[in-house]
Chains A and B, each alone.
Chain A
Amino acid sequence: MEVEREWKRYERQLGLIGKHGQKKLKRAKVFIAGAGGLGTAVLTYLAAAGIGKIEIVDKDSVHLSNLNRQILFSEKDVGKEKAWAAVKKLRSLNPHIELKAKTEDLLLTCLYERVSSFDVLVDALDNFSARYILNRASLHQGIPLIHGAVRGFYGQITTVLPGKTACLRCLFPGSPDLVQPSVLGPVCGLVGCLQATEVIKLILGLGSLLENRLLLYDGLRGTSEEVEVQRRPDCQDCGGPAFFMGNSRT
């Protein structure tokens, strides 16, 4: 009965991906760094789609000023740890998947081993210092990384396939200081949904990924454009043989 209910919940996507695809999603393990504006959108759609195992890492607690965009949280969550508040909400959304929460700062974490069992890493972070750590973990373990970032009415997304495409450091070798940039909730949601779509495509082997393509969304104009990007042989993270230790899974 419970199994039937689980299949029933995916009825509207089975026509697209089939039972075989749905089982692939159920077997997939996704690591999501950041449960903010991007992360809450990614989490919602991946949990709803039936990704079998999701781990969420975020160092922060919910603040009232998060609620314009971080759609998993409500006023009663203010003060609670984001990762745990997100898991609680997602369990009611889909009780058939495994969810794990961790409140920690990626800057203080050794990620390499932590992420080794995952199929996909999602960058839903809000700073490049932590992104570089996630980028190196992705390269070291050979695990694809789906990058997203937002500011104002604009968003960007790309997919990093270690050893094959440009990595985050290839594209952004350094980062300026950004003090809590203003951002519109729907733009976070849109970019997060694009990231979730990339994750699902990657797991199922469908369509074309944003490989060596940085997609930029312009919310003011309602347009999106791509910038073709390339690996840098001199990239400090992926440029030489020294860092790329893992076997690419792509």
Chain B
Amino acid sequence: MSGLWRARFLHGELKNMKIKVRFLAYFRDLFGEREKEVRLPEGAHLRQLLEVLCDSPERRAQVFVEEKKLNPHAVIMKNGRPVQSSGGLDALLADGDVIAVFPYLGGG
């Protein structure tokens, strides 16, 4: 969270956004719930959302690699499109966005 952005939020200059997050398959067990609503100040990116959600080493390990990149074994979709193709961790979030997190399945 940048200092300026945080300061603007704390001074009430930024509105809250509601982001719905859905956890599927083993992410549901990892995060202990099927769905969660997260409030973030406007201008937040996916990175900020995931920082809020990943509050344990186990959760971070499943979502991030090398602390700065998305784990390629986690599929994260924003409104039905993979974030990998729309900015990754820097994808800008908007009020009402739906984020789905599920494992990458590739076997047959």
Contacts and interface: CB of A to CB of B under 8 A. Distances in A.
A171 B108 contact: no
A181 B75 CA distance: 16
B83 to A, nearest CB: 10
Interface string B71-108: 01101010111101100000000000000101111111
Contacts of A126: 106-108
Given A172-B75, A225-B24, A234-B85, A216 B80 contact: no
Interface string B23-46: 011101000000000000000000
Interface in A120-156: 123-128, 148-152, 154-156
Interface residues of B, number: 23
A212 B82 CA distance: 13
Nearest to A224: B24
B108 A150 contact: yes
A129 to B, nearest CB: 10
Nearest to B23: A225
Nearest to A166: B80
A38 B108 contact: yes
B104 A154 contact: no
Interface string A7-32: 00000000000000000000000000
Given A181-B107, A216-B25, A230 B72 contact: no
A112 B75 CA distance: 29
B52 to A, nearest CB: 21
Q: Which of B77, B82, B105 has the most A CB atoms < 10 Å from its CB? A: B105
A229 B80 contact: yes
B14 to A, nearest CB: 28
B77 A229 contact: yes
B106 A155 contact: no
6 contacts: A172-B75, A172-B104, A173-B84, A176-B73, A176-B104, A227-B80
A-B complex: 10 closest residue pairs judged by Cβ atoms: A176-B72, A126-B108, A230-B80, A151-B105, A149-B105, A229-B80, A181-B107, A154-B25, A178-B106, A38-B108
Interface of B: 22, 24-26, 28, 72-73, 75, 77, 79-82, 84-85, 100, 102-108
